[in-house]
Amino acid sequence: MGTVGIFTTFFAIFGFIMVFVGWVTRKWIGRSTDYLVAGRQINLLVNTLGVAAIGYAGTTLTLAPAFTIMGGLTKSIFMLGVAYSLTGIISYALLIAPVARRTGAHTLPEWLEIRYDRRVRFIITLVTVVAMLGITANNVLSMATIITGFTGWSIPVTILITFLIFLFFTVLGGMWAVTLTDFIQGVLCTFAIPVLVIFLLVRYGGLSFLTHNWPGGNVWTSGIAGKSFPWFSTFYPSVFVAFFLYGMALVWGSNSYWIRVSSVRSERVAKFSYLLAALILFSANGFMYPLLGAYVGAAHPEMFAPQGSAAPAAAFGIFLRDTPSVLAAYFLLTTLAASVSTSTTYYMAGSSVIVRDIYQRFVKPNAKPEDLVKPSMIVNTLFGIAALLLCFFPGGPVYLFAFATAWLAPTAVIVILGLYSKKFSTTGAFVGGLTGLIFMSVWTLLDLTKIYPLTSKFGHMVIPGLIVSVVAALIANLFGKSKYDFTVKKRTQLSDKEIEVLDIIRRGYNTMAEITDLLDIDSSKSSELVLSLEKAGAVKRASNRGSGFYTFILTDFAQNLPTRIKSEEIYGDLDIVGLNILKHVKSGSQVLADELSKTTGLNSMALSTVINSLIRRGYLSEGGIWRRIIKITQKGLEAVQRFEKGDGESAV
C-alpha cells in the first residue's frame, strides 16, 4: 500500500474517532453553558493540549519551515517560536488568562460590556463573527490544498468531507467535543515532534549536515539564497512585525483563546495550561519546523530559488515526498489534525458569540441556559454551512482572513487597556476600537483592490493600526469618564437581587465568575448588580486593575445591610450548600461532579463554583481527565462529622 492508501486509512480512522467523540459528548450537554464552555470542567492536561492544538495550525506547518528557507534558522525560531509561542501565549497566560477566568464572561465581547458598555460589545461581536468565519474557512482551505497537493484528491471533495466530519461532532457535542478532539489531535501532533527529530537525524545526520550542505552560507543567519529578512523593519516578514502580529494582535484580540479560558476549572488551570502549551508550541514552531526547513533546504537546494522555482512554503510538502510511506502518511495526518483543531476552535469561538452576544441578547434575552441548547446547535450548523460555502467562493477566505488579522489588533488594544486601567473610559474604548477598525479595514481594502497598496509602501498594517488605535483611544479618553469613576452614596434600601449578590459574597463567593455562575445570568447583568452595590458603599474591589478588579470585599457599612441568610445556613467557614455536597461524597469514594446536580439541585455552573471553593479550601480533591471527579479529603470528613455531632459554630 502506497502513501496515499495509508493516509486514506488513517484519515478514515481519524474521522471515525472524531464522529465517535461527538456522539459520546452529546450526552454531556444539558445546558447552553455545557455546550459553549463545557460547564467550566476542562482540566489542566486537556486544556494544555487544546491550546497547543490552536497553535498547530496548517499555517504554521508551512510558515515555520519557509522562514528558515528565507532567512535562516535563528530568525525562523524567533518568528513563530519566540514571537508567537513564547511572547504571545505566555503574555496571555500571565496578563489575560487568570483575569478572563475571574470575570466569568463566556466570550470576549461579553466582557467588553462588563468593562465598557453595549456599544463596544456589539461592534466587537460583529467583528468577531466575521473574523472567526474567515479564519475557520481559511484554515480548512489551506489544509485541503496541502492534502490534495500530495494525494491528488479533489479539493472540493476534501473540503466537503472534512467539514461534514467536524460539523457533525461540533454540532452534537459543542465545546466538549471540540476540547476532547483537540486533546486527541494535540497528542498526535505532540508525539510527532520527537518522531520527526529522530527521523531527520537518522536520515540526514546532525547539524554538521546542515553546515556542510546549506547553500546560503551560514544556516543560522542566512536563507538558502544567501540572503535574509530583517530583524527590525515595518515590512513583513521581519522579526519586529512578528512580535506585534503573532505576539499580540492575533492572540490578545481573539475570542478563540478567551473561550478556552472560560471553559477551564479554575484560574490556576487557565494560567498554567497556557504556560505549558507555550513550551509545547515552542518545541514545534520554534524548533521542530524551523529545523525541518533547514534539512529540506540542505537536502534539496535545487528545488528553491535561485536554482529552482518552488516557493519556500512548499518545504513541508517536499519533505513528505522524501519520507517513507507510513511516516509521510502520519505527518500528513498531523497536518489534517492541526488544521481541524484550529478550525473547530475558531468555529466555536464564532458560533458562541452569535449565541451569547446576539441571539441571547436580542432575540431571547430571558432565556435560561436549558432553553439555549437547541438554538446553539442550530447556530453552530448555520455557521458551519456559511464557512463551508465561503471556501468555494473565489478569494472569500483570503479576503476575510486579511480583514480578520486587521480587526483583531484594535480589539487587543482595548482589551489590555481595559484590564489594567480603571480610568480607561467607554469613550476611549469605543473611539479607539472603531477608529482602529476603520483604519485597518481601509488599509486592507486598498491593498486587496490594488487601488493604492499601502503595505508595499509603508510596511505591514499591524504597527500603524496599533498606533492609530492607541492614540485615538487615549485622546478620546480625555473626553470621557470611566463608569467606575464615581462618588459613593451610601444607601440601605437594596433590591432583592442586590441582597442576593451581597449574600453570595457573605458566603465567601467573592469573584465576578462565582457571582455570575451562582446567579446563572449573563455576566454583564451580574456586573451591573455589583457596580450598584459598590456605588451604595456595600462592597469595594480588591484592586483597581487585573484579577483584583473582579474580586470584591465587603465594607464595614455592609454589616448593617439586609440579609436573607439564616444562622443555620452558615456553619463555620462553610455554607449549607457546601456541607450538603460534602455529605453526598463523605463515603470517600470518587463521585462524578455532574451527578451532584440532581441531588443538590444546583446547575452545572453553580455546582462548579461551589466545588472549586471546597477544593481551594482543602475539603475536596479532584481528578478526572475528561469530566471532573471529586473525592472528600480528611479535612472534609472532619467537617461533616463535626456538623453531624453539632459541634460546629453557626454564624451569619
**Tally of structural domains, the chain:** 4
Would you say residue 620 lies in a domain?
yes
Grid cell listed for 126: 460583529
* Alpha carbons within 13 A on the beta-carbon side of 459: 18
pLDDT in tens, 30-73: 888 888 888 888 999 989 988 888 887 767 778 889 899 999 99
- Residue 613: is its pLDDT beyond 50? yes
- Residue 216: is its pLDDT beyond 80? no
DSSP code per residue over 45-61: HHHHHHHHHHHS-HHHH
Q: Mean pLDDT, to the nearest integer, of 352-375?
A: 85
Would you say residue 488 lies in a domain?
no
Same domain flag for 109 and 191: yes
Same domain flag for 357 and 427: no
Same domain flag for 385 and 530: no
Same domain flag for 267 and 350: yes
pLDDT in tens, 104-163: 998 999 999 999 998 998 888 888 888 888 888 877 887 787 778 777 888 888 888 888
- Residue 536: is its pLDDT beyond 90? yes
Cβ count within 10 A of residue 599:
12
Would you say residue 355 lies in a domain?
yes
Cβ count within 10 A of residue 577:
21
Question: Residue 620: in which H helix or E strand, if any?
Answer: strand 620-623
Same domain flag for 152 and 271: yes
Q: From residue 403, how far is each of 123, 248, 285, 400 by CA, in Å?
A: 15, 16, 24, 5
Q: What is the pLDDT of residue 85?
A: 92
Residue in this structure with the C-alpha cell 455592609, named with its chain if needed? 558
Q: What is the pLDDT of residue 587?
A: 67
Q: Which CATH number is 526's domain given?
A: 1.10.10.10
The pLDDT-based confidence of 652 (bands split at 50, 70, 90) is very low
Q: Which of 443, 458, 482 is the last residue of a domain?
A: 482
Grid cell listed for 415: 482589551
Would you say residue 487 lies in a domain?
no
Do 444 and 455 touch, CB atoms closer than 8 A? no
Contacts (Cβ under 8 Å, ≥6 apart) of 297: 68, 69, 214, 215, 216, 224, 304, 315
Q: What is the pLDDT of residue 591?
A: 73
Q: What is the pLDDT of residue 282?
A: 94
Q: Kindly tell me the sign of the dihedral angle through the C-alpha atoms of 502, 504, 507, 513.
A: negative
Would you say residue 652 lies in a domain?
no
Grid cell listed for 579: 456541607
User: For residues 485, 490, 495 and 498, what is the CA-based torsion angle, rounded to 10 degrees?
Assistant: 60
Q: Which of 379, 406, 433 is the last residue of a domain?
A: 406
Same domain flag for 396 and 374: yes
Cβ count within 10 A of residue 455:
16
Would you say residue 414 lies in a domain?
no
First to last CA, the chain: 73
Give the span between the Cα atoms of 489 and 188, in whole angstroms.
Answer: 58
Q: What is the pTM of this model?
A: 0.90
Q: What is the pLDDT of residue 325?
A: 87
Same domain flag for 156 and 227: yes
**Size of the chain, expressed as the number of residues it contains:** 652
Q: Which of 533, 560, 587 is the last residue of a domain?
A: 560
Same domain flag for 544 and 459: no
Would you say residue 491 lies in a domain?
no
Would you say residue 269 lies in a domain?
yes
Q: What is the pLDDT of residue 159?
A: 86
Same domain flag for 554 and 606: no
Same domain flag for 397 and 456: no
Same domain flag for 612 and 531: no
Domain interval for residue 470: 421-482
Q: What is the mean pLDDT of the chain?
A: 86
Burial of 448 from C-beta contacts in 10 A (0-12 / 13-18 / 19+):
middle
Cβ count within 10 A of residue 15:
19
Q: Which CATH number is 65's domain given?
A: 1.20.1730.10
Give the span between the Cα atoms of 222 and 73, in whole angstroms.
Answer: 8
Same domain flag for 257 and 311: yes
DSSP code per residue over 64-107: HHHHHHHH-HHHHIIIIIIIIIIIIHHHIIIIIHHHHHHH--SS
Classify the phi-psi angles of 578: left when phi > 0, otherwise alpha if psi is within -120 to 50, otherwise beta: alpha
